[in-house]
Structure 1
Amino acid sequence: MENVTKKACETHIYRALDEVTAKTAAFPVMETINNDEELSTPCDYCQQAAIYVVSNMQSPTIS
Structure 2
Amino acid sequence: MIYCCNEHVELALDTVVDEKETFPILNKIPEGKQLSTACEYCENHAVYMVEN
Question: What TM-score results when the alignment is normalised by the length of structure 2?
Answer: 0.97
1:16 matched residue in structure 2: 12
Give ranges in structure 1 of 5+ residues lacking alignment. Answer: 57-63
Give the total of aligned pairs: 52
Aligned-partner Cα distance in 1 for 2:2–2:11: 10
Tell me: higher relative CO, structure 1 or 2? Use CA pairs within 8 A at least 6 residues apart.
2
Q: Cα RMSD (Å) of the superposition?
A: 0.4
2:30 matched residue in structure 1: 34
| 1:43 Cα deviation from its structure 2 partner | 0.1
Give ranges in structure 2 of 5+ residues lacking alignment. Answer: none
**% same residue:** 37
Aligned-partner Cα distance in 1 for 2:16–2:22: 8
SS of residue in 1 equivalent to 2:26: strand
Asked if 1:7 is matched to 2:26, the reply is no
Question: What TM-score results when the alignment is normalised by the length of structure 1?
Answer: 0.81
SS of residue in 1 equivalent to 2:50: strand
Superposition misfits of 4+ residues, deviation over 2 angstroms: none
The structure with the largest alpha-carbon Rg is 1
